[in-house]
Structure 1
């Protein structure tokens, strides 16, 4: 609440008319989302690299699982640490730091002489992936005007799935051209150093988040940044709103773990964490990490599975493209519920195809169609929406800290899927595994309908006021 104990009112902001500032915003968003591209490539490249890596480094089943999953554990830690560093030192500063970690981790992985060294550098790479997954969406949400926030923030998800698609394509090309060389996996991994360098150089030329600057009492700098990214009238009006909320947060002594004792903040963090769990328990990363192996189980040959797996990457990109077209036109809650419903339907169809269709040359392709439809539905709805909601839901002063906690939980759930999917498929088969995913989707519908707040069409400051009033009264 405000110092007087009342909830502030918000006057409508002036229209953000087109101009040079619009192009500047587009450039800023493009540069920052290279963090998402690296996130996608580094998580997707292992899908095709693990078999030649296993042969070259003599990996056992245990060490293979360790090398694959260690990046996910690093990402969970990186998400938690990255949120705190971002709140303390700034969003731009943190992305610059992460670009350096991406470069070191990528080169270290590509040059690793043994699997323990590879595991170490994949852990370092995971720290960067997790930090980027926390910091980049917050930065984009804070530089974007409310009218464009959905489409700007979800550009990061576009780059994530584009990075995964690029990894699948690069893997397929390299394995079919140079597959006989034992160190071919090194070429797959080292490609990621190019976008890491682009991120480092690009972030040197973009501004800090105006909302973070205002939270640090650097109002003049914040206004200067807003004037670069908004029309002049809009910048002045938005700055007044940002300044008012920053002052409220200072009076409330927000900024860290103590805020979780505040009921309305704690409730938002719990909602965000559970959303992250549901996003991962759709099983999307079972496809991103093990899509090739899944398709082999469905009946494809080894090389055929690597090539067919590129369809998952392609339809990820197509799905997120459709999602961006819809995300500013449909309420967040309605889109989440629709996404869970579609995902559950396609999970049932995958399971039913695997269980009831007779073995034939067509069966693997039918399963592939339903898997691709699931990926398309997921990336067009829950994929971008969960990241967008996490970037919108939390108070300014602890935005990155709270998102870091939620993304830590998300990555922990990701690790659970990464560990649990192969043995579950081995023990139960494809059909029961996807039936379990379908049941989880139904629980996601119930959770969204009863707990998730609506953020569409509200400035970050308006939603903060609304959430404070609603959950204080609850």
Structure 2
């Protein structure tokens, strides 16, 4: 009995270790998208890269454009070589691209480095939650996938903290932005080393006829014998019904009405996550805070406050999501976005507060908006995307959904500096408040839990 309990305890510890290694992908996602927030102010200086509003948008959005390519290509690659092998290659790509960005002598090489870094970020953004869902027992799927969502926000918080620490202590050395970027190489190397310790997805192994390897992976992951046999039977039954093992033509999938519905639902979830405007604050938060009157040093510290509250909100929010209807909790988060961005816009438009109080109010409502999005909307959308797609098409549908996320992100991050220059912060925040209203309608009319559940079991004819 003691040996059985010891084995169970060891399996749980190993499972936690595996999930933390995979969630390093989410951490790198967060750090590399957040680090530009503080680094941009330094690299824009005349003695560095001398960026204007247009080139700031290009440097920021280059990563996001790479994210589109990484996300759209990751599904087929993950299906072909496996989840673990792809994670390992992504870690190598992260490390190499990070070094190029930190070394870049000019804007051209920096943009190229950011684009390649974006390929890694885009690929891991879909791979990590999918990998985590496939190695988890049913009762732990929500918790394990949410670890990746928390890791994203933690990565952003660490980026903000590193930016503030380096920027305020060594801010007179304008090349400090290179150190800010280089710090991301450490978790990338750790993820590469850790990838040799984790098992591959047993469900991917079953899809490729590797039943012996799948059973070994199930055992290593702590699946009971009954649960292991249940998973083997479900996958084999699905393969037999669909008479396909790996590559289902996309046109065949899209002629299937239930699968087409779930495909559209996944794209809608991806849109909801990005049209909130959250990444305008993630990428340009320092610029926004400076625009309303804060000094550069205060803006960097303000980002730490925003990131800290977002991180705490993500911990609380992921626990709420695990115990409540995912669609309903998503609606609550989107409604919070509408309210907080709307109030923020009114505060900036009405000019009723003196400068000191205005700065405080802006910080408060930016923080509340990010807490709502990072604590509820973002983890809910990543979790829903990881669980709604049927296994035979999961990797490719996840790739399309994450590619939509990155493409929308690219468009918004590219035009945001121009929006601020043309309309100012107040009207821009009101625009994003209205896009969140649109997200409420998307959720109500296109995300139907009953139809999604039916599609998961629909034969691919």
**Same structural fold, with TM-score higher than 0.5 when normalized by the shorter chain:** yes
Q: 1 CA distance for matches of 2:434 and 2:44?
A: 35
Q: 2 CA distance for matches of 1:35 and 1:123?
A: 17
Distance 1:470 1:255, change over 3 A: closer
Match of 1:350 in 2: 344
Match of 2:4 in 1: none
Q: 2 CA distance for matches of 1:50 and 1:336?
A: 32
Match of 2:427 in 1: 432
Shift of 1:344: 0.8
Match of 2:138 in 1: 146
**Is the Cα contact below 8 Å between 1:226 and 1:239 reproduced in 2?**
no
**Is the Cα contact below 8 Å between 1:332 and 1:454 reproduced in 2?**
no
The answer as to 2:12 corresponding to 1:22 is yes
Q: 1 CA distance for matches of 2:238 and 2:397?
A: 17
Match of 2:436 in 1: 441
Match of 1:321 in 2: 315
Distance 1:251 1:87, change over 3 A: closer
Match of 1:209 in 2: 201
Q: 2 CA distance for matches of 1:186 and 1:255?
A: 45
1:39 to 15, 29, 33: 29
Q: 1 CA distance for matches of 2:110 and 2:127?
A: 26
**Is the Cα contact below 8 Å between 1:390 and 1:403 reproduced in 2?**
yes
Q: 1 CA distance for matches of 2:99 and 2:23?
A: 21
3-state secondary structure, aligned to 1:58? coil
Match of 2:231 in 1: 238
CA shift digits 1:106-135 (9 cap, x unpaired): 111111112111111111111100000011
> Structure 2 matches for 1:270-349, cutoff 5 A?
270-349=264-343
Unaligned 5+ runs, structure 2 = 1-6
Match of 2:3 in 1: none
CA shift digits 1:296-320 (9 cap, x unpaired): 2222122211111111211221111
Shift of 1:18: 5.4
Unaligned 5+ runs, structure 1 = 1-16, 456-462
* Runs of 4+, deviation exceeding 6 Å: 469-472
Match of 1:4 in 2: none
Match of 1:415 in 2: 410
TM-score, length of structure 1 as denominator length? 0.90
CA shift digits 1:438-460 (9 cap, x unpaired): 222222222212221338xxxxx
Distance 1:279 1:242, change over 3 A: same
Distance 1:253 1:213, change over 3 A: closer
After superposition, the CA RMSD in angstroms is: 2.1
**Is the Cα contact below 8 Å between 1:21 and 1:228 reproduced in 2?**
yes
Q: 2 CA distance for matches of 1:293 and 1:246?
A: 52
Match of 2:158 in 1: 166
CA shift digits 1:420-454 (9 cap, x unpaired): 22222332222322222222222222221222133
Match of 1:71 in 2: 63
3-state secondary structure, aligned to 1:288? helix
Distance 1:221 1:470, change over 3 A: closer
Distance 1:54 1:394, change over 3 A: same
